[in-house]
Amino acid sequence: MKPAPFAYHAPTSLAAAVDLLALSENAKILAGGQSLVPMMNFRLAMPDHLIDLNPVTELDRLEVKADSIEIGAMTRQRRMEFSAELRQACPIIGEAMQHIGHRQTRNRGTIGGSLAHADPSAELPTVVMALDGVIHIQGPRGARAVPMAEFALGFMTTALEPDEIMSGITLPRWQGPHGYAFVEFARRLGDFAVAAAAVMIALDGKDTVTRAAIALAGVGPVQTRLTAVEQALLGHRLEPALIDSAAALAAEGEANEDIHASADYRRHLAQVLTARGLATAARRAQARMKGSA
């Protein structure tokens, strides 16, 4: 199939793109196009105006700072995947990248496009949720920053207003030795996740949990933080029994049911993947503790 007729615009600055979006009725933003273009071809999306952000070079940036990571909305997933500096500063991103589509889609896909599309099974929003990321937004009323926890409002729905554009993402860096894991279950490599978990954990010298962050994808209508699991871990020595009891709490939330999995099966996956992620993150945290001793 072919898309419905539309007017194509290629602004070269963020300010020009914001102005175009404000003046154009029924407009869509084109980032990587890995989701939007197929939707247009099937006429699930029929914009009258398509505003291409690819010429806006100011949105393609990746900067690792001492306490944060700044990523422009048009930064390609491939660039993030192969950045040695990013891999060292935040290795969970590289691990999650291995589950995102295929090399061809990562070549064109952008972090901003993934976050704005807001697929509940997408990997990058899950990692940004676990890392307490902040989304930077530009619109005709100025700039604003929205925590990722408030950005995802519902199924494929975000806090972006129709006349606003995502400009970038800030990810606070975890300081000191810590462990990480991104685990996913999909029908085939490159398929959408049936369920996935992003896990970050910090331990002290006695293997007591001092900080934990766990985000789940593919189970409910949006990516969610498992705050009950995190609270169950804090202040306790991370042993197999604790992992099992904490992970069991992951199965108590809302779950979708579709042709790929029942709600009960997704709850089961939530528990299993959370336990696997915690075990892997704990091993990595312990290894880092030994390496820094």
Domain ranges for the chain, please list them. Answer: 7-52, 57-172, 179-292
| Other residues' Cβ atoms within 10 Å of the Cβ of residue 26 | 10
Kindly give the interhelix angle for 263-292 and 240-248, rounded to the nearest 10 degrees: 140
| Other residues' Cβ atoms within 10 Å of the Cβ of residue 24 | 17
pTM equals 0.95
- The span from the CA of 244 to the CA of 264, in Å, is 18
Residues 273 and 267: beta-carbon distance below 8 Å: no
pLDDT at 118: 94
pLDDT at 76: 97
pLDDT at 148: 97
- CATH architecture for the domain at 57-172: 2-Layer Sandwich (3.30)
pLDDT at 75: 98
| Other residues' Cβ atoms within 10 Å of the Cβ of residue 278 | 29
pLDDT at 288: 87
Ranges of residues in the chain with a pLDDT under 70 are 292-293
- The span from the CA of 214 to the CA of 224, in Å, is 8
Yes or no: domain 7-52 corresponds to CATH 3.30.43.10:
yes
CATH class of the domain defined by 179-292: alpha beta
Using the structure block, give the residue that is written with the tokens 């207003």.
161
In this chain, the answer to whether the domains covering 7-52 and 57-172 adopt an identical fold is no
